[in-house]
Amino acid sequence: MPAEESEMTNAAASHLFPFDLPHRAGRLLGRLGAEHVRVHAITNAAAQNLTANLLLAAGAVPSLTTAPDEVPAFVASADAVLVNLGTLDTERRAAIPWAIAAARSGKKPWVLDPVFVHASPPRLALARLCLAGCPAILRCNAAEFAALAGAASEPEAVGAFAREHGTVVALTGAVDLVTDGERTLSIANGHPLMARVTAMGCAATALAAAFAALEDDAFIAAAASLLAVGIAGERAAERGKGPGTFPPAFLDALHALDSDALSTQARIS
């Protein structure tokens, strides 16, 4: 099939997808590099390297400092902020309120990733305080959601939680669920190897923050990031031979991702 015809076909197909998501994800990826979007990420020690490399592979510019006295200046020159609660040491615990305050003060979107919040009571308490700071997006898995919400992650409960907190919930699992309490999407992309690599979810949340810097509709930003990460994961699994070669292949695939690939492989409902 000639390239032009293929593009037309995929463009047509894309409009069949809810919210035209594949094309919007592709345009967001294209803009990340062109506009040098900067994301300040307070994230856990196992995720810092992969998070920075995911942002760079996608075209964005990361910064990672967790020092409380430096975070406000870094957030001031960033376009979006990621707050990930993993390896929550004294420094991160002190820095997070400043990061949230600086994001709110600068009217910049910030994204919350309440890693392992079900395993640590003090972390759960901090996560609840963070939620009061109005994250644009909350990215979590079912166990983390259940701890935060005090309810199982049924779609209705997730929607109600999103409405109550005025946030978009991106609940990841074998099938991802994204909802702002009014609109809901399911994304079935991804690959089981993604669960055999540390910090894949944490790093993916950074892409949601980068997209939220460009896209005012946080529901679209969250869904587009999960779609891009899921499809890059599928492409990496085609090349990868196991969990060790998967992350390098994933970053290569994300770097090469375009609207055409997103439209062809998207499994959204």
Contact set with its own copies (CB under 8 A): 44-46, 48-50, 52-53, 56-57, 62-67, 69-70, 73-74, 77, 86-91, 93, 116, 119-123, 195-199, 241-245, 247-256
Report the residue number, 33 or 157, with the smaller CB distance to its own copies.
33
Strands, E, within 152-258: which ranges? 168-171, 176-179, 184-187
CB of 56 to its own copies, least distance (A): 5
Q: Which is nearer to its own copies, 76 or 152 (CB)?
A: 76
CB atoms within 10 A of CB 186: 16
Spatial separation of the C-alpha atoms in residues 153 and 100, rounded to whole Å: 26
- Rounded CA-CA distance 17/138 in Å is 23
- In the complex with its own copies, the residue whose CB is nearer, 19 or 116, is 116
Q: How far is the CB of 173 from its own copies (least distance, A)?
A: 16
Choice between 56 and 142, CB closer to its own copies = 56
Strands 176-179 and 168-171 come out as antiparallel
- Of 250, 255, 235, 145, the C-alpha closest to 197 is 250
Residue 196 is classified by DSSP as: G
Return the DSSP state at 19: G
129: which 2 tokens?
A: 């305080």
Beta carbon of residue 24, minimum distance to its own copies (angstroms, whole number): 23
Q: How far is the CB of 62 from its own copies (least distance, A)?
A: 7
**What's the CA gap between 22 and 11, in Å, rounded?**
9
For the beta carbon of residue 150, count every other beta carbon within 10 angstroms.
9
**Closest distance of CB 79 from its own copies, Å:** 13
Contact (Cβ atoms closer than 8 angstroms) between residue 190 and residue 201? no
| Token pair belonging to 62 | 């990361």
Instruction: Using the minimum distance from each CB to its own copies, give the nearer residue, 60 or 268.
Output: 60
Minimum gap (Å) between residue 178 Cβ and its own copies: 25
Between 197 and 204, whose beta carbon lies closer to its own copies?
197
